[in-house]
């Protein structure tokens, strides 16, 4: 996370300071740049080069513009990364039942889906976005994460968990178990996927390469044994099974402790 400012950092968030220059009053003709284009280019660059490959200067080059032009639209690099973060969170599809104000939920279909199904869907979406954008976990760990899309996601997660029947004072805890798990899982999975992309290897190839690089170390004997027991044909398959069953465990725990 060496991405922040170098000093003690006053640490304001984009979402806590008024936006810069989105007010193009009158009808001047818009020129090359704007917020949308900048954030899109930022995400493209982050996807391609990772967080450490991203710089304001690289971004400016990508946009065919001088290094400082971007600063007209964005206060700092940190603010820009927060915008990218929230844009990525916006890619998460929310279950229809869990979105919008309460009144609209009165009109929801007579057969609302099971909370467990909704939770699994939301967790899968969250996981996927972190694998697709492997820079996301680092930013999620770095910033306040109170952009509109992040808040929408949190509220959806909360709404779903409410349907579990868990008492109100246990909801934050259960949310924490599920989504911190997915966050951690997505972090390592995303990193692995990024390393594969960078090395031009499939997940299986990189996995076996990594395994063989520690083949002679007996401290790994226990891990190897248990990884073998886990079975599965491909790395992806093993990971999917781990993910699915871990969620099953969490759900089973919630159901078990729901009524004491």
CB of 44 to DNA, least distance (A): 15
CB 41 within 8 A of CB 62: yes
Q: Is 43 in the site for DNA (CB under 7 A)?
A: no
Select the binding partner of residue 246 from a copy of itself, DNA, none (C-beta < 5 to 8 A, by kind).
a copy of itself
For residue 236, what are its two tokens?
Answer: 């992806």
**Please, which residue, 34 or 91, has the CB nearer to DNA?**
34
For the chain, state the CA radius of gyration.
22
Cα separation, 145 vs 133, in Å, equals 16
Select the binding partner of residue 17 from a copy of itself, DNA, none (C-beta < 5 to 8 A, by kind).
none
Listed in sequence order, the residues at least 6 apart from 12 whose beta carbon sits closer than 8 Å to its beta carbon are none
The DSSP call for residue 32 is S
Cα separation, 14 vs 20, in Å, equals 10
**Please, which residue, 34 or 99, has the CB nearer to a copy of itself?**
99
Q: Which of 66, 104, 108, 173 binds a copy of itself (CB under 8 A)?
A: 173
CB of 15 to DNA, least distance (A): 17
Q: Which of 149, 150, 151, 171 is nearest to 161 (CA)?
A: 171
Q: Which of 10, 30, 101, 200 binds DNA (CB under 7 A)?
A: 30
Assign 200 to helix, strand or coil: coil
Cα separation, 232 vs 49, in Å, equals 31
Size of the site for a copy of itself (CB under 8 A): 79
Q: What phi-psi label fits residue 145: left (phi over 0), alpha (psi between -120 and 50 degrees) or beta?
A: left
Burial of 7 (0-12, 13-18, 19+ CB in 10 A): exposed
Q: Is 21 in the site for DNA (CB under 7 A)?
A: yes
Q: Could you identify the residue written with the tokens 């871990």?
A: 246
**Please, which residue, 41 or 159, has the CB nearer to a copy of itself?**
159
Q: Is 108 in the site for a copy of itself (CB under 8 A)?
A: no
Within positions 106 to 135, which residues make up the interface with DNA, using CB under 7 A? Answer: none
CB of 47 to a copy of itself, least distance (A): 14
Select the binding partner of residue 30 from a copy of itself, DNA, none (C-beta < 5 to 8 A, by kind).
DNA
Within positions 215 to 244, which residues make up the interface with DNA, using CB under 7 A? Answer: none
Within positions 175 to 234, which residues make up the interface with a copy of itself, using CB under 8 A? Answer: 176-177, 179-185, 187-188, 191, 195, 198-199, 210, 213-214, 219-220, 222-223, 226-227, 229-231
């Amino acid at each position: 996370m060496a991405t922040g400012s170098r000093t003690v950092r006053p640490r304001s968030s984009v979402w806590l300071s008024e936006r810069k220059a989105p007010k193009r009053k009158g009808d001047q003709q818009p020129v090359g740049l704007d917020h949308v284009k900048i954030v899109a280019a930022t995400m493209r660059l982050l996807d391609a080069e990772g967080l450490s490959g991203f710089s304001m200067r690289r971004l400016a080059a990508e946009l065919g513009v001088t290094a400082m032009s971007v600063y007209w639209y964005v206060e700092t690099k940190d603010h820009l990364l927060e915008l990218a973060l929230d844009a990525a969170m916006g890619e998460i599809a929310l279950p229809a039942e869990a979105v919008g104000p309460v009144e609209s939920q009165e009109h929801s279909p007579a057969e609302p889906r099971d909370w467990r199904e909704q939770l699994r869907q939301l967790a899968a979406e969250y996981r996927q976005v972190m694998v697709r954008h492997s820079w996301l976990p680092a930013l999620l760990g770095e910033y306040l994460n109170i952009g509109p899309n992040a808040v929408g996601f949190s509220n959806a997660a909360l709404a779903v968990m409410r349907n579990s029947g868990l008492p109100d004072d246990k909801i934050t805890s259960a949310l924490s178990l599920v989504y911190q798990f997915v966050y951690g899982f997505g972090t390592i999975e995303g990193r692995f996927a990024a390393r594969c992309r960078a090395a031009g290897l499939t997940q299986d190839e990189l996995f076996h390469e990594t395994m063989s690089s520690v083949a002679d170390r007996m401290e790994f004997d226990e891990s190897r044994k248990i990884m073998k027991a886990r079975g599965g044909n491909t790395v992806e398959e093993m990971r999917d099974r781990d993910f699915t069953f871990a969620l099953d465990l969490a759900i089973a725990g919630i159901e078990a402790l729901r009524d004491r």
